Amino acid sequence: MAASDALVAAARAAFDRAIADYSHFKVGAALETADRRIITGCNIENASYGLTMCAERVAMFKALSEGHRVFQRIVIVADTHTPTPPCGACRQILWEFAGDVEVVLANLTGVAATHMMRDLLPHAFDRKFLG
């Protein structure tokens, strides 16, 4: 199922709210819940880079904190020509809490690529390994 225009627009709006004063690499994300609600996130940087939070994790943590537990897809927007996939930490969080969802990569003008999480994080580590 293709990402809706509203979901892509929400990710672009989140991109505009990103705080990327150090890297100048803004990212916006829009996570669609099972009941078609849209939860957004943007990357938020600070002087201690290790405390920076990615857009995908902001969106997921907001959604979880609001009680959402089932997700359909996430749209990730960056101002790049080449599709920008989630970092390793975001892939782990997305797999853990959303499972094999659709991941739509877009830029400021259009959708560039679509993947399933299983393809972005093959051989994922999750609760099944914890006994």
What token pair was written down for 97? 């809490």
Distance, in Å, from the CA atom of 99 to the CA atom of 102, rounded to the nearest integer, reads: 9
Angle at 60 between CA 96 and CA 86, to 5 degrees: 75
Active-site positions read 56
Neighbours of 25 (CB within 10 A): 13
Q: Do 106 and 77 contact (CB within 8 A), yes or no?
A: yes
